[in-house]
Amino acid sequence: MQYKLESINSASIYSSTRIVIIEDVLQQLTRITKTIKSVFHKDSSSESTKLSNPSQHLQYEIFRFDGEVNMSNSITLKKQLFNIISNKKSILLDMTKLNFIDSSGIATLIEGLHKAQSSGLKFVIVGASNLPLKMLELSQLDKVFTLFNSIQEVKF
């Protein structure tokens, strides 16, 4: 009995391997998204960044961003958000001037949302657009956070 070795098209192996990897990553992202939704969606109802001092509006503290939120300033943001929540105020994040947010900034927002919800407070985002909005959409957190286009849309 003779065996014949046939050449294998390396492009087809590469393509099918890449597809398997992509499918695996998508499944993992779906699981992560479901976990985030189940934890945070209980209620159906940078040095280059200036994190402004919050201003008060009835039961909300309005927190305005300018520039970027990244690893170098997300800890400061977290402290400021937690301070507002400890003062029993709901948070309105104004992202109209935010140009960029990285994964550490997203993680800070998730922590803030969780802390606010566990304290019975609201945590809303206003004016997210461009890259920050894309980050929220890609991670499907736009379905977890309460988003508004403008402050006028928020019912105080």
Domain that holds residue 116: 50-153
Q: What is the pTM of this model?
A: 0.63
In this structure, are residues 64 and 86 in contact, taking their beta carbons and an 8 Å threshold?
A: no
Lookup: tokens for 120: 């019975």
55-57 and 60-69 strand pairing: antiparallel
**Secondary structure class of 131 (helix, strand, coil):** helix
Same domain for 102 and 58: yes
In this structure, are residues 58 and 90 in contact, taking their beta carbons and an 8 Å threshold?
A: no
Q: What is the pLDDT along the chain (156 residues), one digit of tens a residue?
A: 454 444 444 444 445 566 666 666 666 666 666 666 555 544 433 333 444 555 545 578 999 988 999 999 999 999 999 999 999 999 999 999 999 999 999 999 999 999 999 999 999 999 999 999 999 998 899 999 999 998 888 876
Same domain for 65 and 35: no
Same domain for 81 and 34: no
Q: At 60, phi and psi to the nearest 5?
A: -105, 150
Q: What is the CATH number of the domain that holds 134?
A: 3.30.750.24
Lookup: tokens for 20: 């398997």
Same domain for 32 and 65: no
